[in-house]
Structure 1
Amino acid sequence: MEKIEDDININECKMNELLPTLFRLQSQRCLTYQRLYDAQLMFLNTHNFPAFQTFLSDITVIFGRISEEILLIKKRLENNKNIFKHIEQLQGYEQQKLQLTNDLFVAKIEKKNEQFEEINQKLIKLIDNINEILEELRYDQEEFTAIET
């Protein structure tokens, strides 16, 4: 498994570095989703289950590490109720997104087109919610930075 670049120790971050770090972690999560989609496509085309299973193990570790680091950021920011609440929402949405991504893949494998469309619509709405929370966190960052300086 490869190490993601820009790994940092959350506990050593200054307070004003925490939200930029969260945004970097969220970008890493997006890239990891892209790799997951690519692996799913590879599996659908080749049916190479052992390779797919190995890849999923690696992806699971990466998603777990990202979530752990974001939870550390959330803990360090627990005194800021808005930021804390937004990170909590983000993590909840991301957990739902991973489940829906899995459900979508299963529907694709089982060729359940109606179920696929329903799950896809839920996923689109969830991604909109994630983007809204990230926008809220950007506003939180501006306010937080103004207070810290």
Structure 2
Amino acid sequence: MPWFHGSISGVQAVQQLQTREEGLFLVRESIRHPGDYVLCVSHHGEVVHYRIHHHESNLSIDLEQKFSNLMDMIEFYTINQGALCTKLLKPKPKQGTKSAEEELSKAGWLLSFQRLTLGKKIGQGEFGGKANKKK
């Protein structure tokens, strides 16, 4: 995931989030607590660090909301503020990583929604319509 920066220090995380854009975030490995992670979030010009506890095959920040993996946790906190100071609004990509969406688009494999046109509805329900019903 582009927001995962691996083994960087807290100081390096703050440098990565130096724009202090509200809700900008990254996840890094915890140096003090091997096996745990740290969620770093920019909020009101400061960077707040949340330890992500790894306990009994689950991940948690507040030990109440539990997740099976980092992607589920990040997705939850982009929708819900929960125990965080703010929702996660924008991931800080690790330098040197490329977005899969951008690469697929450049290669012509990703359709742009602006280029799609809705036409006449051709069916509804299971398998596309009423023609499949037996009499």
Q: TM-score range by the shorter chain?
A: under 0.3
User: What is the TM-score normalised by the length of structure 2?
Assistant: 0.27
Structure of greater relative contact order (alpha carbons < 8 Å, 6+ residues apart): 1
User: What is the TM-score normalised by the length of structure 1?
Assistant: 0.25
Q: Which has the higher helix share?
A: 1
Q: Which has the higher strand share?
A: 2
